[in-house]
Amino acid sequence: SLRNVSITDILGRDPVWLDWQGIQAGLHDKTILVTGGGGSIGSELCKQLANIQPRKLIIFDQCEFNLYKIDAELSRQFPQLQHSAILGDVTQALAVQQIIEVQKPEVVFHAAAYKHVPLLENQAREAVHNNLIGTKIVAEASIAAGVERFVLISTDKAVNPTNVMGATKRAAEILCQNLDKTSNTRFTTVRFGNVLDSAGSVVPLFREQIRAGGPVTVTHPDITRYFMTIPEACQLIMLAETVGKGGEVFVLDMGEPVKIVYLAEQMIRLSGKVPGKDIHIEFVGLRPGEKLYEELFHNEEQLMETGYSKLRLAKARVYEDDGWFGTVQALTLACRQPGRQDILLLLKQLVPEFKSEI
């Protein structure tokens, strides 16, 4: 049997611990909304927030089962916590507005997103609708209700995106940076690498393949990714809320990128087997939109120190394009029409560095 993989086994580094005292001071006794609160990141974030004793925690998710699970877990582990589990979709503007108006959160953590690159490559409409338009709806409702701070959870795939998912997340980053300049709500973005053991990620997939006797499938011998743990991701989100002044992009220093084939070999060894002998590794080719390596920052993003050893910060790139929100509007309309081409062309206008086949 394969024992649980620890970050030290795979990444050759110790877990990062950020400034817990500062995080507590910034979030204690606040009313907090977490969208996508039933997901891998969202649910762990809710548990870590519960430890801080917020005034109230509102969990919003479109997946009934995930919402039920985190609601039951919080009730069991934190019986004193005042929390509400609300079923709904971030793309439903009226519902989102009503929840934010009624619940009056001071802080919004926006974790709701679609994230699977190959799946979204052929479903650009759904990716744009959820990841960009959903963000716009939650952000505008937050501004209207006087929310103090809004944290967007993004991805390193948003840097020089080569796939639809990354482009929609980069567009959401630009949206939040623009809104930060024009509103009283402080908007901050957090970028992750791959989150170890999150739902649908490579570690659970490899675990299943090893359990079945192999082969373990890797897309390319040279493919690398940055990795972080779910608790690290949640600390980064909370610290960004605490120290962010608005408009920045925070990234955790995750050490060196890891070769996925090395990750596969390590997991095979940890199960007591020999890679290539007991369990074979099969290279299956890069999937549509997939990169060999990810970048954490765009080369035009100015890197700055944060005063925290493992927390890095990119200053916002200024977008002078007055027509940007008009293009978002056109994209919203294009999502109601059949066809993919217009959606990709408009997405490219919003994110000029997006490399796609169009």
pLDDT tens for residues 125-168?
999 999 999 999 999 999 999 999 999 999 999 999 999 999 99
Alpha carbons 7 and 244: distance in angstroms, whole number: 27
Residue 275, in any domain of the structure: no
Query: Nearest-CA neighbor of 115 among 201, 217, 18?
Result: 201
**How many domains, in total, are found in the chain?**
1
pLDDT at 124: 96
Residue 330, in any domain of the structure: yes
What range defines the domain where residue 323 resides?
18-194+228-253+310-350
Residue 272, in any domain of the structure: no
pLDDT at 2: 58
Q: Active-site positions? A: 157
Residue 176, in any domain of the structure: yes
Residue 295, in any domain of the structure: no
Q: Are 230 and 44 in contact (CB under 8 A)?
A: yes
DSSP readout, 179-201? HHHHSSSEEEEEEE-EETT-TTS
Write the CATH number for 123.
Answer: 3.40.50.720
* Single-letter code of the amino acid located at 212: A
Per-residue pLDDT of the chain in tens (358 residues, 90 and over written 9):
556 666 677 777 888 888 888 898 889 999 999 999 999 999 999 999 999 999 999 999 999 999 999 999 999 999 999 999 999 999 999 999 999 999 999 999 999 999 999 999 999 999 999 999 999 999 999 999 999 999 999 999 999 999 999 999 999 999 999 999 999 999 999 998 888 888 888 999 999 999 999 999 999 999 999 999 888 899 999 999 999 999 999 998 888 899 999 999 999 998 999 999 999 999 999 999 999 999 988 888 888 888 887 889 988 776 766 799 999 999 999 999 988 999 999 999 999 999 987 7
Residue 358, in any domain of the structure: no
Residue 304, in any domain of the structure: no
Residue 279, SS3? strand
Residue 236, in any domain of the structure: yes
